[in-house]
Every structure is written in structure tokens, then in C-alpha cells.
Structure 1
Amino acid sequence: LEVEQSGYDQLKQEVEAQIAVFKQEFLSREEQRSTAANVEDVYPMSNIQKGMVFGNMLYEGQGVYHDQAVYALGHIGFEKARFEKALQLMVDKHANLRAVFRLNQNGEDLQVVFKTISLPLSYHPIQIFHKDELELEVADFLKSERRKGFDLENGPLWRMRIFQAEASKPLLVFQFHHGIFDGWSLASFNTELLQVYHQLQSDPAFRPEKLSLTYKDFVVRELITQKNESIRAFWKEELGGYERADLFEDEDRDDEFEINIGTAYLKQLEALANYYDVSVKILTLSAYLLLLDRLTPQSELVIGAISNNRLPEEEGDKLLGCFLNSVPLKVPVNKDATAAAFVRQVKEKIESLRGKDQLTTLEIARLLGENSAEGNPIFDVIFNYIDFHIYEGLDAIGLGVEKMMEPGWASIPTFFERTNTWFDLTVNTTGNELRLKIQFSRKLKAGYTSQETVYKYLQILDTMIKVPQGKVADIPFLSEEERHRLLYTFNDTAATYPEDKTIIDLFEKQVEKTPDNTAVVFEDKQLTYRQLNEKANRLAHYLRDSYDIRPDDIIALQLERSEQMIIAILGTLKSGAAYLPIAPDAPRNRVVHMLSDSQAKVLLTDEATYSTAKEQGKSLPVLTLEKAANRDIVNPDSINTPQNLAYILYTSGSTGRPKGVMIEHLNVTRLLVNDRNLFDFKDTDVWTLFHYYGFDFSVWEIWGALLFGGSLIVVPKAATLDPKVFARLVVEWQVTVLNQVPSAFEQLQAHLLKKTLKEVKLRYIIFGGAKLFPAILTDWKLRFPTTKLINMYGITETTVHVTYKEIGEEEIRTRISNVGKAIPTLRCYILDKGLNPVPIGVAGELYIAGDGLARGYLNNPILNSERFIENPFEAGGRLYRSGDSGRWLKNGDIEFLGRLDFQLKIRGYRIEAGEVEQALLKHPAIQAAVVIGKEVGLAKELVAYLMGDERHTAGIPDVTSLRRYLSGQLPAYMIPTYFVELEALPLTANGKINRKALPQPEGASMASGTPYVAPGNKTEQALVEIWEGLLNRENIGVNDNFLDMGGHSLLAIRMVTLIHQELSANVSLATLFDKPTIAQLAQAIRPISQKKSGLFSTIPKLD
């Protein structure tokens, strides 16, 4: 400890004096009880004990921290009387065997050590003649005992039963609460018990030597440590911005696998550890971190590493009790580092924690403000390294540990333990053998079983043994079959298309097919294909004649929405140039940059925009379409190849300057031609050009109509801003193909759902541009079941669309944003930061390959090298790095998770905002929802912005009701802190949510909805008094929320105890978190008469 000795001694005196007060107060309260005279000592519970009690109370009935060990006793020549005497001597010596837990004794959680206890040893003779019958009997007994649990208040906190069968050696079942035994203590207990039993054979008067240390000495040291401000400050800095491992589905799974690898493999690990100059513990821990790295999208996460905080005094290793601490360990994984360098990094991290690891996880969690009601504080995965060399002392008397656990008992586990973490790896090198055990209590997103995960772990260790200086990124993880499926089976998208055709070639062919079909409509103006083609030809001739247009030249367009916009695009392409769309209301600096960066030859505009364009494009020729009125109407000769530029779209750049994406003719033609197999587009279809022509969805809308003979309705700007007006346009023009960003469609469908089947003619609704949550389509699917709903993930740099998925009832039911499979000519890869394919179910970054990739960014070689990279899976190919997160589903579809930079991290949890949004959208009063992380005060909080559904006349519920509603669908950490109601969500010009325009929640958030409501009966009044005392608040109403008012796990334990003491009633900890208001809790309280004896008599332990 970093405290001067005098300061330490003073703290020790203060702590011991306070403990003496606790003891005296307890004895005063116990005077009237028959057990008072039997009390030997009283002192606080350690934090590890409190955490374990909290865990088994929260997971009531699941055997959390109820440990069970099974031993065969035949090898020791079992004698009943001698065994009982040896056991009694152990009880007399070790106070932990006489301890109980008394919670909330005047606000303190204490353990009471009795002077004597009745020996909790029972015998069970059974008439069984077959070993498998005995196995079944004992296995059933173990399950029943885990449900039964321990009486924490009255004890004892352990018990033994010996099964005596005539046809078999006796079996000893030893059960205990983990709070009184850690693994070393169990090994020490077993060793000493057998030694005493052996000694009594030759010396019946033998008595084991008493210890000078007690568990209270450990508690005193822990309480002093908690006052050390430098240690507390260290952990606040060390875990700042920590992340939990993103490993698990929200699905329980009891799965365990244990394997004995043997001595030879351990020798190889010892040799490798010597080579790295580390211990085997550090080596196996490093491999565990590399395993987790491959199972998560994170490069840095926090795990728990079990440390032993035994007292350093000479007798410290002989003292029995629970001295464990699960130390939070945060180690970044650099995939470019060598395995040797990474192992050394882990060693250095462990060394840096020495002297700091005495502060418990529970205390650290409180420092960080985490009061999770789910799982373990801070982390959900644990590494435990065991080497109980204490067993070696038995070899001298012929009672080696291997004889205690007789092999061949198929149905009976030799040891059972369940923690409140979800993925535990135990490495045991006791007895010079390597044994590995993995336990799951949640399903991995990767879907691997515990057995499969053990072999993945061994594969990592094998590689480190064979290639000790290899790179972390090069350590294989996937099997060859897995790798082939991800890289090739899921990407079987080869297709042929006319690679010698340009966009104009295909358009002019369509003009020949349907010259008199209506091509373009804007307000009261209509053009047939022939008329549109002729007007475009006039412009093309003018441009080519006047400005010496060459392939890859750029012509900038700055026009309002109208039929002239389409003529300008076609005319530009026919001239041989590529078009650059610019919004008429774009900021001047942005326009000047685009014109300068692109070196545009001409700026083509209309009468309405001419003066603005003239001012912004001073160095360029600026003209309107009227200039070309008298030119030739025949098709000009083509000067383009499919490899020439078709358009440049400028998208937002991270530097603040927009970047130009260069798309070639071939990129567009193969998109439309190959998607013919996915869609049944017809020349009778009516499309809308809803999106701004600088947004790549417009490319799909324009050419989807004009290359298939359909009609294109250019939507007036006013209609794009008013869903009601746009809905009327869709009906009046009998639109059949609609393309929408999901956020815009949410608002549109509210109006279309009021229409009849005869009024709505939509054959396809195609979603893109943002993440789709299929739940929003529930009502649409019911009302208009024949409309095909298509979800297409896409990126400007990959030419509009990348994947295709038809959304049906199954997709709506599963609530995931399934974007399907890659469309023909494209391939999708989901990779980690080392460009390794990630397993099915694990999130990674989406990379795209194939013929849709843009030429690159204009005049931006550095960004090109960052985003368009060499394809490691295809010689000479390129990959586009999307910046989007996704994961493979088992059938080869992709679940789109969102932008990597949109993921939120709140109090260590990585949260996908879309999942919260989807849960909100299921409420009938909410039409649209956006969830973001906002800095509020000193912390980042989850904020939900809501728009009400006008069909729900009652309006959006209050905050308390919303939280209650969400609690049935989401874990507590995913429920927003703030809710803000808006009349409309701010949208960008492309119909996407404008997140930057969302207001700060302070002052704008909705009312809590919890006006003061007085208690209405005696139970509620009693609960109010308990809450006000615990929370140090006044005027608590029956609808106030315990968690919202700062309630946490330790206060919850005390509340449960007070309810028992004050109301003579039992309530489980899980019930308190599930029903966190007084009104809810009062209804859930059960009278104690309905329970068995003892406050915690039904709390089961470790499973």
C-alpha cells in the first residue's frame, strides 16, 4: 500500500475500532436470542462475499455460487467414526466452517462466526447394485441441492453427505457457498482433512495446530485498501472508456466442456513460456485474450482475471476462506504485433496491477458509476488459472489428489460451480497436467459450443508453439471449411452482362423499343421517349460542338427539379462527358470547391438558378438548355467506352471537404442489367425520382425507369418535404416502383396506409440509403400483402446497391436488419482489423469487391489507398472498405448493424442504437424514433428522439411508462436516460436523419410522468420508509423508480433484508430489479409464511 506506516497503523486502528462497534451492536441486538452466547466473533463481509451473495440472490434458483465436489473415499480405507472426528477437528480449527452471513445489520453486511455448530454431515445408505444407478441417484441429488441452496442467515454454509452403496465405494458430496471457500482453500481443506484423518489412525489424540490469523485480518486489510485514494484514482483512469466484450446473444445456454490435455502438452507450453520469459499463466491468459479478440469486433475489451489476495503473512496460505478477486484487465490487441510482443504486453499489464488488485470489482464498479442489474459488474468473461501444488503434500502419505476423484463416473461431475459471468475459461495445471474447462451461461454470437471453443483455443496455443514469433493477425482461427464458406460459397455471384455497352447505348435501344411511352413527367409536362431523346441529342451536339468534349471531361449541372434535369443528364452523357450534380441551394464554398476540384468544363443550369450559377462558376462557361434549342435531333456518334466516367458524386468527407466519387458507365450498366434477374421491371412501371440527383439513389431511380421503358415522375421539391402531398402524388400517378430511405418511408406510410388497395398500385418498395428495421413494415405487410418489400444495402462508392433481400413475415418477426446477399458481380466480405474473415455471427467491417467498385476518389490518392485496397482473396482485385458493421447469418445473408462510427458506448456497454429504435417503434403511439449518445454533463447518455403517430390520439406516453414498456424488450443498460418529443425529425436533403440537428436533451426532455403519489396501504407506507432511509431522500412516491433514484446492487441487497425484517416478508432480488417501483413491489411481496424457514432458505447457489 502506498501509505506511510504510521498512516497505515492509524487507519488500521480506526477500522478495528469500527469493527468492534459493529460486534458490540450486534451482540446487543442478539441478547434475547438463544444463539447469542454461541457467537465467537462478528465482522463485516468482504466485498467478494457481498458480490457472490448478490449474484446468487439475483439468479435465484440457478445455483449461482453453490459449489459441489464429489469424491470417492474407498482408497483411504473409510472409517466413519475417524472421519467424523477429523471433520470435527477441522471445524474447530477453521472459523469459515462456522460462519454465517447477516445482511443489513444497521446498514452493515456482517458475517458471524459461531463457537460451535452441529456437524452438517449425513449418511445415505442405498441398496444399489449397479454403478449407473448410483450415478443417477447422486446426479439427481446434486440438482435438487442446488435448488435448495443454503440458509445464509442461520447456516451452516456447507454440508456433506456420504452415499454408501453395497456394490461400490462410498461417495462423498461436499457442498459449500463459494463465499467461504475459494479453490485454494478447498484444496487446502481436502489436504488437511485427509492428513488429519490419516494421523488419527496412529495418534487418536492428535490435534491440528491453531492459526494465529483469521479471515477478519483479511477484511481489515480490504477496508484499509478501500480508503487508499491513489488506488481508487488508478482504477478510474485505467478503466476510463472501457468496453464489455460484445460476445453474447440474449439467450441463456448452459454449456460446459472439460478436457485433460496431459503432461506432454504442458511441457510444450512451459518451454514456450520460458522462451517468452513469462509464466504459463501469462501465456494461457494471452491466448485467451486472442481467442476473445477473434470472437468480438473489438480491439480492446475488459475481462476478469482471477487473482488471489491472500494475506502475505507466513500462515496466509493455510487460512481458509474466499480471498479471490476478479481483477478487471484491459489489454488492447494489436494484430500487427508478434505473438511474442503481445504476450510480453500482457505480462507488463499484469505487473502494473500489482498492489492495485486488492480493490474488489464491486468497489471499482461503484467508482465507475456502474450499477448493473445484469451479469457481473464491468465484465462478463473470466480467466482462472489454477495450480494447487498444495496437493503434492499428500503424495508423501500415499493419498495423492488423483485418488480422490476416481475416474469412470460418467454422469457425476467431480466438481460443480456456477458464477454470474457468462464465459469462463479455467486452466488447471495441478498435478503436472493441463486441464481446460470452458463454461457458457449465454449463447455466443459466433454460435460455437464450449467444446468447439476449447479446440479454437488450443489451435491458438498450437500456432504460438509452432510459430512463436508469428504475427497475431496470422494466427489461424477458422477451419478451412468455415473459411471457404465465408469467402466463396457466400459469394457465388458471378454473372455475365454486355461489357461493351454504355448507359447511352442501352437507353437509345430502349427508345427504339418504346418511342411513344411516357418517359418523364414533371407537374403538367410530359415527354415521350422519342421527345426526351431528341432534346438530349440537341444538347449533346451543342456541348460537343461548342466545348470540344472528350471522354472523362466533366460537365457540372446545377438545376432545380424538373424534366430539364433529366434532359441535362442525358445530354451530358450523350456528348461523351460525365455529369457532376450540384444542388441549387448548396453553400457557395462547397460549390466552388467542387467546380475547382473536378475541373469542370461547363456549368449547365436553368433560368431559375442561372444568376447563382453565374456567380459561383465565374471561371466557367455557364449556359442554359435553351442554348441548344436549334441543334440536330439525331443520336450523336458515341465517343465513350464502358470504362469512361458517367458521373461524379461528391459526398461528405471526414476532413470537412467533400470528396468526389468517380463512377464509370460499366458500373451502372452491370447494376441494371444483372438486377433484371432479381426484379420484374416492366415498361408499364411508374417510378418516382424522389431523391436529390446528387444522392446515388437517384441513379437507380432514373435508369431503373429509363432503361426498362417505364415512366419517371420527377417529384417536386415541395412534395419531397411533405409526406401527405407525396402520398397523394403516389396514388394519383399510380406509382408502381417506389424507392425510399427508411426514415422517409416511415412518415410516408402513415398516409398511404389510409388508402385502399385499389388506390395504391405499388409493386415494389425498395429501401436503401440507411438501416431498415423491418418492424416498421408490420402494418404495411398486413394492409398491402402483394407489395414486394426489398431491402438493399449500398454505398456510393460501390454504385448504389450491394445486396438484395426480400422482406417477408419472417424478417419482420426476427426484428433484424437483414440486407440479404450480394447482388450479381459483387462480393461481400466481413473482416476484422487484420483483414481476417470473422466467424458467422461475429460483427466485423463490411468490405466489397467486384465490378461495382468506383474508379476511386477524384484527386485524392491518399484516401484511395485507405479505402480502395488490394483484395487479399483475389489476385489483382480491389476491396472497398465501407466503414459499416455487419455480421453473417447462417444462411449466408448479412445482418446490417450500422455505421461503425454510429455505435454507442454507454458505461462500458456497446449499444446498437437501432435495436433501441426498433423497440420504440413497436409502440403504437410512436411513428419515428432516433436514438443517439449525447454528452450530458460529464457523462455520455442515451437519448431517444420521438415523433408521435397522429393516429394515436392519446399521444406519446410519459417517460416512466416508456421505460416500463422498454424494460420488457431491452436490458436495463439499453433504456434511454432522456426522451425528447419532436413534431418532426430533422432530415437531410437525401431524406436521411440529420443527427447533428437534434437538440440537446436538457430542457427539452419529456416529463418524467411520476408526480408524487402517496402510499395507499400499510405495505406501501412501510416500503416508502425503507426507501427513504436507504436512499437518503424524502417524499418518495409509490411510482418513483429505485434505479432512477440511484439504487444499486448493494442497496438492493439491504432493501431485500429490510423488507424481511420490517415486513416479515420475502422478495427476491430479481423481483426488485424487475419491479422497481413501490407500487409494483408491494404487489409482489410474499408473506414469509409462504416460504421455508430462514431469510435466504430458498436462495440456491452456484450451478
Structure 2
Amino acid sequence: MSSSTLADRLARTVAGTPDAVALRDGRTTLTYRQLWERTATIGAALRARLGKDGMVALLRPRDLTQALVLVACVRDGLPVLVLDPGVPVERLRQIVAPIPEGVVVAADDAPGPRLGPGWTPADLPTVDGGSGRLDGGTGPVDGDRHDPIVVIATSGSSGRPKLVALEHAGLDNRIMWAVREFDLTRRDVFVHCSAPGFDFGLFEVLCPLVLGATLVLPDPDAHRDPEALLAAVREHAVTVLHGTPSLLRQLSRLPGLADTNLRIVFSGGEALTTGLAATLARATGAEVVNEYGPTETTVDSLAYRCPADGGDGDLVPLGVPIDRTGAYVADPDAEGRGELLIGGAGVARGYYGDPRATAAAFVPDESTPGGRRYRTGDLVRRDGDGLFHFLGRGDDQIKVRGVRIELAEVRAAYRRHPLVLDVVAGGVTTPDGTRLAVAVEVADDTVPAAELRRFTGVYLPRAFQPDRLDVTESLPRLPNGKVDRQAVERGWAAAFADVPEQPAAPRARTAEVDLLGTLLRVAGEELGLERVEPSDDFFALGGHSLLAGRVVSVVEAETGRSIPLRAFFNASSFAEIIELTEAGWARDGV
């Protein structure tokens, strides 16, 4: 077993290839020499402000600063909590509550100091990184490979988020396994397209930099804009791409995917179908790899190299354990089915500040002295070839577009509303993956769904807003008075099955068309809302990238006028979407 840390590997790479391109974001290109200098300056500034028990909260969009701060923390041994700046302030406060103090690296409009009394802004210095020296900063700080390196917030079954503390050793093992398994080299070009706070982003940033390869940082909204992501992949000759099946499915529908340099496509975060795997392999000529692993086992624990035709059955297997990792079926039934437990190098330290939850989820590994196994809650079976196959969940957790959602958190947010009497939340299987649905019983039938979405938006991030929200004065009940969940789920299934895949035939373009009115009506229909206001935020109402694409298609079909998908991500209201669209038309002379 190597005793090297990622900081050691990065230092050796910088010394060996100081003038190679490390980072590129469309405006800025940094060599490894410049990367080393900038991260030294950032690390020194953070260390000067950080108390003994403090942590760095990285509250940035996926941009150059986010990548540099992450690298600075890794090389200087500073524990870092990676957060999504799009998460509501109330939820951010819940996330950081167990941490007594820290510094916040935030965008200008992010609520850094408001996280709590022990949190202060980082006030990072401006770094131009042009001196050409390699002796800046402290360099890698000596530390234990089992010290926490990164903390990731995940959904919690108690109704509050949990903090997973990952160790240096686990992340190093995960990255170096991939380097060996897929022959990754400094000739590869990686793209960082995971949403902020998504654990695979750690691999996307750190793996290329310890290799001496190039990391491409596309537009911060590229994880929600497949066309922008594909443009970056083509422009920068990206060879290694990761995405959730939801994102990869959107990419697979774009004609330009065939004209890329991709050689490996990693899929993770959701169940991958054999059909999508085959489509991706056929379109790109790349190897498609299905990866599985909860955050508690450091990004990924099992992997499967998909055959070019996708393989047999509906779902691609989870695969086999990666190096120095064990996978076990606990208490299997007569057909070999049981809960998946994972042990080995990737098992996280536990839940930060929550020893009770840690003890429940991380159990002793009887095969390894002092070792532990993580109880995933996933039901699996192991076939005769040693491959693990996903069968479902044994608890109240679902994954939607790669995001892990504890339904208890969703229910808790809706129950905060004074007029909500009861809540049912669940996942609905659709051709585009699992979707979140919520049914709410209210005391007053005048409570609009839009109000409930706005109310819960204070506590729930965008990814936790339901794809379908039903509001009623009376949920269906069984004779014993309990909610008839099966009846509710049948209604959801029927509703999702009735969603048309293709919009109506396009109408002729007219100069008099009410584009805003059409957008509001179509968005309301797709969101299941009776009324949508021009000042409403599409995503705050429960919208997502897939739904935005459908709204754009329907509006164009009805009006003959095109709304750029990117406008949804750059605007905070429907009115602003139209303003950006009109400005684009004026500029382009349309």
C-alpha cells in the first residue's frame, strides 16, 4: 500500500511538468507552475484565518476559484466542506450547525457570513500567479492519511442533512485505482461538470491534476445545459467524461456527440440502463463504465465495464469492487438477495458531529481487525460471475437525477407549512429515470401549489423540489384511516404516463405572439400549477433541466419562436427569461 497522499502526488507532478497546462476555463489557462503558486497563496490565507477546530466552507459555483480552493485545501491539509451555493440559506445553516467555526469562500451574492456566528468570510487575496517560482507556500503539509480531507453534505433520514467526512486514504485509493484500471495518463483531458457538492466532482478535479493531465472547467451551468457541456467537450478535445444517466441521456440526443474525442464515459448516481449504455457507446465509440458507491464509501466502490451492446437485461450491473474494497450481501434470502455492505479503504470516517448515526450506519467488519463496513440500504444480489445487481431500496431513500434524497426531509419541509395536514412523498419510475412526486393534504383548498413550492424552497434545495406536486383537501384513505399510499402511487404513475413526449405541430411564427404569456401557461402545465407569475423562478417552483427542455420545445412548437435553454439558468424569473431571449433576438437581428 502506498503511503503517498494526493498532496504528495500533486507536488511531484508540479515538479515534473511545471509548464504543462493544468486548468482551462475558456478565459484563463493555468500551467502547473501557476496552479502551485496560486494554491499556495490561497492555502496560506485560509490557514491564517482558520481556527484549530475550523473548516473551510467552499460555497462557490463550479468555477476556477472553486477548483483552486479545493486543491489548496488538499495540498495544505485543510478540511473543506463542499457546498452548493444554490441551496437555501436555512438548509445551509442546518448543514454547518455541527461545525463550531470556519471560513466561507463564497461568491459575491452567496450568504457567507450569515451561516452562523462562528463563520467568517475568507477574503481571499487576488493572485496573478505569474512569478514562475515553484517555492511558494508551505507545500504539502505532513498529516495522517486517515485525517479528514473533504466533508460532503448528504440527505438525512431524520429530516436534517448529514455530513460525511472522507479521509485522504480513501480518496487517494479511489483515484489511483481509476488511473490503473483505465490507463489514465497526462495525455487525457478531463471535464469538471458535476454539480457543486456532488462527490464525483472530487475525482473530476483531483484525478487529472495528480496525473499531470488537463482539467477543463466549462460554464458553471453546464451540468444543467447539455448543449453547453457538449460544446466544451468538443472545443477542448475532452477524453474523459462523467455524468448521471439523466445528463448522459440528454447528451445522447444531441447530434454532435459523435464528433468528440471521448474515450471513457463514466456513469454514476443513478441506475444505468443497458439501452442508454449501448447508445452512448455507439455514438461516441468510447468505453462506457457504470460506477456505484454512496458518498460514505468515497465516491465509488463498485464498477462495471459495459459491453458495446450494453449487455443483457434492463439495467447494467453495479459491477465488482474496486481495489482494496469489499462488498458483501448481508443476511441473504433463499435467492441470494440482501442489503449491500461495503468495507475497505474507502469507508468514510463517519458522520461529522453525529456519533449515534455513525454507529448505526458503520458496523464492525469482522474480517478485518479494526475495520468497518457501511450499510448502504441498497438491496442487491450477487450472480455466479461475482457481479452485484441493484434490486431497489430497503428504506425511504431515492435518487433523482443523481441526487440522493431522503423522503423524510421532503416530508418535513412540507409539514412546516401551517395548513399542511399530511404528506406523501415517493419516487416514480419513468423512461427518463426516477422522478420525485409529492401529494399534500391541506386544511384549506385555496392553498395553491405554487405557494407550497415557494414555502418549502426556503428549506429544500432545487433538486428536492418534486417533479409532480398534488394538493388536495383529502388524500385517499384505507378503512383504518391510514393514507392509501398505493392509490396515491397509482395516480402518480398514471400522471407521468400521460405526459406527451412530443409537442404539438408548430404554428406559424407571428410578430404578435404573447411569448411571456405562452411561457407562463406552458410552464404551469408542465409543473402542474394552476397559476404562474412573471416574477416566479422556474427552478424554485420545482423545475429542472429536463423540464426546461420540454417547456422550450412546446413553446417553440406553439409560437414558432425559440427560447434559449441557457436563459432558464441565467434568469431568476420568467420575465427575465423573456428579457434575455428578446435581447438575444435583437442582437442576432431576428
Normalising by the residue count of structure 2, what TM-score does the alignment of the two structures yield? Answer: 0.67
SS of equivalent to 1:603: strand
SS of equivalent to 1:830: strand
Alignment of 1:705-724 (within 5 A): 705-724=208-227
SS of equivalent to 2:94: helix
The one-letter code matched in structure 1 to 2:307 is G
1:152-199: CA deviation from partner (whole Å, max 9, x where unpaired): xxxxxxxxxxxxxxxxxxxxxxxxxxxxxxxxxxxxxxxxxxxxxxxx
Query: Conserved in 1, the CA contact under 8 Å of 2:252 and 2:279?
Result: no
Corresponding residue for 1:814? 313
CA distance in 1, matches of 2:396, 2:539: 17
Corresponding residue for 2:123? 624
CA distance in 2, matches of 1:853, 1:746: 30
Query: In the TM superposition, what is the alpha-carbon distance from 1:728 to its structure 2 partner?
Result: 1.9
Query: In the TM superposition, what is the alpha-carbon distance from 1:871 to its structure 2 partner?
Result: 2.1
Query: Conserved in 1, the CA contact under 8 Å of 2:277 and 2:309?
Result: no
Query: Conserved in 1, the CA contact under 8 Å of 2:298 and 2:346?
Result: yes
Compared CA separation, residues 672 and 861, structure 1 to 2 (3 A): same
CA distance in 1, matches of 2:200, 2:9: 19
Q: Which residue, 286, 290, 298 being the options, matches 1:799?
A: 298
Q: Which residue, 357, 375, 387 being the options, matches 1:863?
A: 357
Compared CA separation, residues 504 and 887, structure 1 to 2 (3 A): same
SS of equivalent to 2:221: helix
Alignment of 1:883-894 (within 5 A): 883-894=377-388
Q: Which has the higher helix share?
A: 1
Corresponding residue for 2:467? none
1:298-341: CA deviation from partner (whole Å, max 9, x where unpaired): xxxxxxxxxxxxxxxxxxxxxxxxxxxxxxxxxxxxxxxxxxxx
Query: In the TM superposition, what is the alpha-carbon distance from 1:799 to its structure 2 partner?
Result: 0.1
Corresponding residue for 1:767? 267
SS of equivalent to 2:375: strand
1:938-981: CA deviation from partner (whole Å, max 9, x where unpaired): 4423334367666x9999xxxxxxxxxxxxxxxxxxxxxxxxx9
Corresponding residue for 1:849? 343
The one-letter code matched in structure 2 to 1:884 is D
Alignment of 1:935-950 (within 5 A): 937-938=476-477, 939=484, 940=486, 941-942=489-490, 943-944=492-493, 945=496
Query: Conserved in 1, the CA contact under 8 Å of 2:18 and 2:32?
Result: yes
**1:600 maps to 2:101:** yes
SS of equivalent to 1:707: helix
SS of equivalent to 1:561: coil
**1:547 maps to 2:49:** yes
Alignment of 1:746-757 (within 5 A): 746-751=249-254, 754-755=255-256, 757=258
The one-letter code matched in structure 1 to 2:339 is E
Corresponding residue for 1:901? 395
Query: Conserved in 1, the CA contact under 8 Å of 2:276 and 2:310?
Result: no
Corresponding residue for 2:406? none
SS of equivalent to 2:319: strand
Query: Conserved in 1, the CA contact under 8 Å of 2:337 and 2:381?
Result: yes
Report percent identity of matched pairs. 27
CA distance in 1, matches of 2:543, 2:247: 7
The one-letter code matched in structure 2 to 1:519 is A
SS of equivalent to 1:792: strand
CA distance in 2, matches of 1:558, 1:696: 14
Compared CA separation, residues 644 and 913, structure 1 to 2 (3 A): closer
Query: Conserved in 2, the CA contact under 8 Å of 1:541 and 1:636?
Result: no
Corresponding residue for 2:580? none
Query: Conserved in 2, the CA contact under 8 Å of 1:689 and 1:712?
Result: yes
CA distance in 1, matches of 2:293, 2:347: 11
CA distance in 2, matches of 1:531, 1:604: 20
Query: Conserved in 1, the CA contact under 8 Å of 2:191 and 2:204?
Result: yes
The one-letter code matched in structure 2 to 1:831 is A
Query: Conserved in 1, the CA contact under 8 Å of 2:148 and 2:168?
Result: yes
Corresponding residue for 2:375? 881
Query: In the TM superposition, what is the alpha-carbon distance from 1:704 to its structure 2 partner?
Result: 2.0
CA distance in 2, matches of 1:838, 1:549: 50
1:437-495: CA deviation from partner (whole Å, max 9, x where unpaired): xxxxxxxxxxxxxxxxxxxxxxxxxxxxxxxxxxxxxxxxxxxxxxxxxxxxxxxxxxx
CA distance in 2, matches of 1:542, 1:600: 16
Corresponding residue for 2:90? 589
SS of equivalent to 2:35: helix
Corresponding residue for 2:28? 525
Q: Which residue, 76, 86, 89 being the options, matches 1:575?
A: 76
Corresponding residue for 1:825? 324
SS of equivalent to 1:638: coil
Q: Which residue, 154, 170, 174 being the options, matches 1:667?
A: 170
Alignment of 1:969-1008 (within 5 A): none
CA distance in 1, matches of 2:58, 2:433: 35
Compared CA separation, residues 690 and 815, structure 1 to 2 (3 A): same
Corresponding residue for 2:471? none
The one-letter code matched in structure 2 to 1:575 is D
Compared CA separation, residues 992 and 598, structure 1 to 2 (3 A): farther
CA distance in 2, matches of 1:807, 1:566: 30
Alignment of 1:318-467 (within 5 A): none
Q: Which residue, 231, 235, 238 being the options, matches 1:732?
A: 235
CA distance in 1, matches of 2:544, 2:395: 15
SS of equivalent to 1:624: coil
CA distance in 1, matches of 2:371, 2:261: 43
Query: Conserved in 1, the CA contact under 8 Å of 2:51 and 2:101?
Result: no
Corresponding residue for 1:614? 113
CA distance in 2, matches of 1:900, 1:583: 28
Query: In the TM superposition, what is the alpha-carbon distance from 1:897 to its structure 2 partner?
Result: 2.1
Query: In the TM superposition, what is the alpha-carbon distance from 1:659 to its structure 2 partner?
Result: 1.1
Alignment of 1:1022-1033 (within 5 A): none
Query: Conserved in 2, the CA contact under 8 Å of 1:568 and 1:625?
Result: no
Corresponding residue for 1:1091? none
Compared CA separation, residues 644 and 931, structure 1 to 2 (3 A): closer
Q: Which residue, 677, 680, 684 being the options, matches 2:187?
A: 684
CA distance in 2, matches of 1:790, 1:783: 15
CA distance in 1, matches of 2:527, 2:107: 35
* Bigger radius of gyration: 1
The runs of 5 or more residues in structure 1 that have no matched partner are 1-496, 905-911, 922-927, 956-980, 998-1103
Corresponding residue for 2:65? 564
Compared CA separation, residues 621 and 794, structure 1 to 2 (3 A): same
CA distance in 2, matches of 1:592, 1:903: 23
Query: In the TM superposition, what is the alpha-carbon distance from 1:701 to its structure 2 partner?
Result: 0.9
RMSD value, Cα = 3.6
SS of equivalent to 1:775: helix
Query: In the TM superposition, what is the alpha-carbon distance from 1:705 to its structure 2 partner?
Result: 1.6
Compared CA separation, residues 913 and 812, structure 1 to 2 (3 A): farther
Query: In the TM superposition, what is the alpha-carbon distance from 1:933 to its structure 2 partner?
Result: 8.0
The runs of 5 or more residues in structure 2 that have no matched partner are 399-425, 440-474, 478-483, 507-524, 529-536, 549-590
Query: In the TM superposition, what is the alpha-carbon distance from 1:530 to its structure 2 partner?
Result: 1.3
Q: Which structure ranks higher in relative contact order (CA pairs < 8 Å, sequence separation ≥ 6)?
A: 1
The one-letter code matched in structure 1 to 2:191 is T
Compared CA separation, residues 709 and 845, structure 1 to 2 (3 A): same
Compared CA separation, residues 515 and 635, structure 1 to 2 (3 A): farther
CA distance in 1, matches of 2:271, 2:368: 29
The one-letter code matched in structure 2 to 1:547 is R
Query: Conserved in 2, the CA contact under 8 Å of 1:675 and 1:824?
Result: no
1:822-843: CA deviation from partner (whole Å, max 9, x where unpaired): 00111001113xxxx445x532
CA distance in 2, matches of 1:745, 1:994: 12
Query: Conserved in 1, the CA contact under 8 Å of 2:325 and 2:345?
Result: yes
Query: Conserved in 2, the CA contact under 8 Å of 1:811 and 1:818?
Result: no
Alignment of 1:149-548 (within 5 A): 497-498=1-2, 500-544=3-47, 546-547=48-49
Query: Conserved in 1, the CA contact under 8 Å of 2:278 and 2:309?
Result: no
SS of equivalent to 1:848: strand
Normalising by the residue count of structure 1, what TM-score does the alignment of the two structures yield? Answer: 0.37
Query: In the TM superposition, what is the alpha-carbon distance from 1:866 to its structure 2 partner?
Result: 0.5
Query: In the TM superposition, what is the alpha-carbon distance from 1:617 to its structure 2 partner?
Result: 4.5
Query: In the TM superposition, what is the alpha-carbon distance from 1:712 to its structure 2 partner?
Result: 1.6
Compared CA separation, residues 988 and 669, structure 1 to 2 (3 A): farther
